[in-house]
Amino acid sequence: MTNTKAPSKLKQEMIAYALLVVGSALFAVGDVMFVNPYLMAPGGTYGLSNVFNTLWPWKISLYAICMDVPLLIIGTWILGPKFGFKTILSTGLIFLFTFLIESFWGYRPLIYDYSIGILNEAGTSTVKFAVGDGFQYFVPDYFLNTVVAGLIYGVAIGMIFRSGATSGGSDIISMIIHKYTKISLGTLVMIVDGCITLSTLIAFGDIRLPIYSIIIIFIEGKVIDLVVDGMKSYKTMFIVTDEVEAVRSYILNDLKRGGTLIAGKGLYQGNERNMVYVTLDRADMVKLKSNLRNIDPKAFVNIMDSTEILGMGFKALPEE
Give the integer Cα–Cα distance in Å for 148 and 222: 13
According to the model, what pLDDT value does residue 85 have?
83
Give the integer Cα–Cα distance in Å for 30 and 38: 11
Give the integer Cα–Cα distance in Å for 37 and 31: 9
In angstroms, the Cα distances linking 184 to 42, 74, 175, 181 are 21, 20, 10, 9
According to the model, what pLDDT value does residue 100 have?
96
Taking alpha carbons only, the member of 38, 68, 66 closest to residue 51 is: 38
According to the model, what pLDDT value does residue 1 have?
43
What is the pTM assigned to this prediction? 0.74
Instruction: Tell me the residue type at 223.
Output: V
According to the model, what pLDDT value does residue 141 have?
86
Taking alpha carbons only, the member of 302, 292, 312 closest to residue 236 is: 302
Q: What is the DSSP letter of 36?
A: G
According to the model, what pLDDT value does residue 22 have?
94
Q: What is the DSSP letter of 135?
A: E
pLDDT in 10s for each residue of the chain, 320 residues? 445 454 577 888 888 899 999 999 999 999 999 999 898 998 889 999 999 988 898 999 999 999 989 988 888 888 777 677 888 888 999 999 999 999 998 888 888 765 544 444 444 456 766 555 556 677 788 899 999 999 999 899 888 888 877 767 777 887 788 778 877 766 777 788 888 899 888 888 889 889 999 999 889 888 887 887 666 667 888 888 888 888 888 888 888 888 888 887 777 676 777 888 888 877 788 888 888 888 888 888 888 877 666 665 556 655 55
According to the model, what pLDDT value does residue 132 have?
54
Give the integer Cα–Cα distance in Å for 8 and 177: 40
Burial of 69 (0-12, 13-18, 19+ CB in 10 A): middle
Taking alpha carbons only, the member of 150, 169, 164 closest to residue 221 is: 150
The answer to whether residues 175 and 186 touch, using CB atoms and an 8 Å cutoff, is no
Strand partners, 119: 137
- Helices (H) and strands (E) counted in the chain, each on its own, are 10, 6
According to the model, what pLDDT value does residue 122 have?
45
According to the model, what pLDDT value does residue 34 have?
94
Instruction: Tell me the residue type at 86.
Output: K
According to the model, what pLDDT value does residue 128 have?
63
According to the model, what pLDDT value does residue 193 have?
84
For the chain, the domains span 5-229, 234-306
According to the model, what pLDDT value does residue 102 have?
93
According to the model, what pLDDT value does residue 314 have?
59
According to the model, what pLDDT value does residue 212 have?
92
- Domain covering 234-306 assigned CATH 3.30.70.120 in the classification: yes
Taking alpha carbons only, the member of 128, 142, 144, 149 closest to residue 207 is: 142
In angstroms, the Cα distances linking 51 to 47, 202, 292 are 7, 10, 56
